[in-house]
Structure formats: structure tokens, C-alpha cells
């Protein structure tokens, strides 16, 4: 896989060494057991896979090269490059300006831009409508398009099934930049509708089967479907694609539920005519990170810490997985480890931050599970490990591990 030029400030010698050792010992990536940092009365288990993915590193490389090669020019990002506060703050400090917030609200009017300005498309991609608006100004966006290849793979898959006459159901968070972009590309080719979760999927099935009046479609999906969507005909032949950072198990369950509904309606012998055989469109990093967390959770522990931006979908799903097993804290930097007694953590559901007291069991041997999202720099993970090591006064043990082979 291609190696990217990522600023040294996002790299960690400790984490890089751990990842390198695991990769050399498990080239086929079939071992999802965690890595143990045994620091005596503190034991930290790191997930087999975590941190920057291909798409994130690709986006960061393009963004920083763009800044370096275009000094003196106005450089804009359509929205956050990735959902990571450190990366976005660094880009702002370097003079990059954001045109929209994560919900698509305009921060800088497009009519202020000129053809000599540079606009970078973030890793999530953007809508066809926004692409056209930028191009109409005379700005060439192709060179500065950092859309993740795995997101583009979803778009291509959607186009393929659209050409065969299927409508598209997108499993995604309706307000997320990636889902908005995927919806735009899908609906340009075929009738499309977004379902956020299994509950909405079951509602859609009730409409499909007649358990709910077809007039209810507008109530539940009127703001999440393509213009002119006709549920009386556009739900008879469907295929499923997804936001690449969703929980794999959720997307699979939604796809299976829709397929079963179509079998009941049209019979197993006719299923291929009514349900597209879409392969899973989650990205490799989302699959690897989720599988690694499942492997991590086999280890008995006192708590888990997940690092990532509060708006990061893939990070939130890692928190969701961990919370099913044990107390879990979601932070975006080591600074949120306020002390040995307090942590400022994010509620992944409503994005609110709260301070929690007595989060570490300091009076006994402690085991902590750790992972991070695909847009979280490894430096944040190392800094968090070092800070917790200080709380337990085991810094010397950590340095000894580094000297013995992780340097």
C-alpha cells in the first residue's frame, strides 16, 4: 500500500514501532488480539488496528502539499478536512479557511471566491451540486480533491446497480458530509432514500408491505429521499449501499432485513429481480478497526478509552462497541485527561462533553483497553498513554519497554 507524506507532528515513534512489529508478525492481518503494554500495576491493551487510514493520510498529504505549493494564494476547504480537531486546527493556523461547517452551513459566501482561489474537497467528498457551484466560478477542483477512494467505490457501486434499474437505499447518518455526498451521487442516477438505522428500515418495510399507508412515506422520509421519489414503484427493486464508517453489523442487519422483506413480497425465486446483490461497501479501515475492537474486548479490563474527534462517525461506533462491554470514555486529546481523578469525555450520541470524577481505579492494579478512530493522529494515543503512566507513576516502565525494542 502507498506510503504517504504525513507531517511528523502526527507520527509517534512508540505507536509506529508497535504497528510495525504487529505487521511483520501478521502480514495477512488475521490476528486481532491486542498488544499489551505491561507497566506493572498498569496494563494497557492496544487494539490490533487503530489510527490514520489510507483515505485520511491521502487527504492530509494533498492538503499540506497544496499549502506548500500555493503560498500567497487563498486556500479554502469545503468543510473539515477530517473529523479531527488537531488536524483542522493546524490547517486553520496555516491560513486555510473553511467554507462550511460539518452540517453544511455556509461560513464564507461562495460569491467571495475568485477563479484564482483554491478549494480543497475533504475526504468525505462533496455533492455534485457543490462541485458544479465551485466549477462555475472557474476554480479547478480536480487537483485538490481528497475524496477517499473507498467513498468513491461506494459511489461507483451505486451507479452500477442504478444502471440495472434498482433504486438505492443508503444506510447512513443523514447530516453527515459523506452521506450527503453519497446521496447526491446516487440520486443523480436513480431514486434514492436514506435510512439512519434499523428502526427507520422497519418503517420503510412497513410502507413497502402495506402495513403502513403509502402516504406515511412523506412523514418519515420526505426530507431524506430524492426529488420525485414514488414509493409505490421505487421500492419494488432496491439495492443497499452505505456510509463507509457505519457499524458493519448494523449495515449487514439492515441489508438482510430488507432482503428478507423482498423475499416475502416476491418469493425467493425472484429475489435477484428485486434486490441487488451489493457487496459490503464499508472501507477496509472501518472493518479492521471494528474487528480489532471486538478482539480487544475479549480482554477483561476496568475501562476503555477511545480517542477521536467528537464528530467522527467511525470513532463513535468504536465507543458504541466498547460501551456494550464495559465503562468507556471518549476523548479527542490527552488534554481531556484532566488529572488522575477527572476526565472530560464526550457523549458520542449527543456530542456533549462532561467531566467525570474517579474514572481511574488508582488503588489497585488497573487494566485499560485503548483504541482510536481512523482520523486520530498516533501522537494523541502516545500522549494519552504517557499521561496515564504518570498518574500511576510507571513512566520508567514505559521508557524501559521503548528501550527494549519499541524505539
d(CA 366, CA 33): 19
d(CA 150, CA 292): 20
- The catalytic position among 80, 131, 177, 178 is 178
Residues 6+ apart with CB under 8 A from 349: none
Residue 178 bears catalytic tag: yes
Q: Helix 149-163 vs helix 177-187: angle between axes, to the nearest 10 degrees?
A: 30
Task: Enumerate the active-site residues.
Answer: 178
Amino acid at each position: 500500500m502507498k506510503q504517504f507524506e504525513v507531517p511528523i507532528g502526527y507520527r509517534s515513534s512508540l505507536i509506529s514501532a508497535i504497528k510495525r512489529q504487529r505487521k511483520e508478525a501478521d502480514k495477512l492481518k488475521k490476528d486481532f488480539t491486542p498488544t499489551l503494554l505491561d507497566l506493572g500495576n498498569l496494563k494497557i491493551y492496544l487494539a490490533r488496528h487503530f489510527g490514520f487510514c489510507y483515505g485520511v493520510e491521502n487527504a492530509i498529504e494533498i492538503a499540506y502539499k497544496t499549502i506548500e505549493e500555493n503560498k500567497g494564494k487563498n486556500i479554502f476547504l469545503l468543510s473539515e478536512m477530517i473529523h479531527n480537531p488537531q488536524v483542522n486546527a493546524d490547517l486553520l493556523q496555516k491560513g486555510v479557511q473553511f467554507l462550511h461547517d460539518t452540517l453544511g452551513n455556509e461560513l464564507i459566501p461562495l460569491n467571495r471566491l475568485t477563479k484564482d482561489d483554491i478549494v480543497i474537497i475533504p475526504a468525505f467528498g462533496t455533492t455534485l451540486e457543490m462541485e458544479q457551484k465551485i466549477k462555475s466560478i472557474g476554480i479547478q477542483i480536480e487537483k485538490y480533491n481528497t475524496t477517499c477512494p473507498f467513498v468513491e467505490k461506494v459511489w461507483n457501486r451505486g451507479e452500477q446497480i442504478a444502471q440495472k434499474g434498482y433504486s438505492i437505499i443508503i444506510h447512513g447518518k443523514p447530516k453527515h458530509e459523506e452521506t450527503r455526498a453519497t446521496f447526491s451521487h446516487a440520486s443523480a442516477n436513480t431514486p434514492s432514500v436514506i435510512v439512519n438505522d434499523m428502526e427507520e428500515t422497519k418503517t420503510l418495510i412497513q410502507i413497502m408491505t402495506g402495513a403502513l399507508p403509502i402516504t406515511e412515506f412523506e412523514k418519515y422520509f420526505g426530507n431524506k429521499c430524492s426529488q420525485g421519489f414514488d414509493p409505490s414503484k421505487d421500492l419494488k427493486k432496491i439495492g443497499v449501499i452505505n456510509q463507509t464508517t457505519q457499524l458493519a453489523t448494523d449495515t449487514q442487519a439492515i441489508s438482510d432485513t430488507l432482503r428478507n422483506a423482498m423475499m416475502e413480497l416476491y418469493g425467493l425465486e425472484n429475489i435477484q429481480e428485486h434486490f441487488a446483490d451489493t457487496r459490503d461497501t464499508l472501507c477496509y479501515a472501518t472493518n479492521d478497526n471494528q474487528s480489532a475492537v471486538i478482539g480487544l474486548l475479549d480482554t477483561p479490563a476496568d475501562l476503555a478509552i477511545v480517542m477521536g474527534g467528537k464528530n467522527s462517525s467511525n470513532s463513535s461506533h468504536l465507543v458504541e462497541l466498547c460501551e456494550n462491554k464495559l465503562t468507556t470514555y471518549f476523548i479527542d486529546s490527552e488534554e481531556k485527561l484532566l488529572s488522575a481523578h477527572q476526565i472530560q469525555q464526550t457523549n458520542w450520541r449527543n456530542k456533549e462533553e462532561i467531566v467525570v470524577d474517579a474514572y481511574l481505579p488508582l488503588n489497585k492494579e488497573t487494566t485499560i483497553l485503548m483504541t482510536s478512530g481512523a482520523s486520530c493522529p498516533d501522537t494523541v494515543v502516545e500522549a494519552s498513554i504517557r499521561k496515564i503512566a504518570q498518574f500511576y507513576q510507571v513512566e520508567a516502565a514505559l521508557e524501559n519497554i521503548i528501550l527494549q525494542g519499541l524505539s
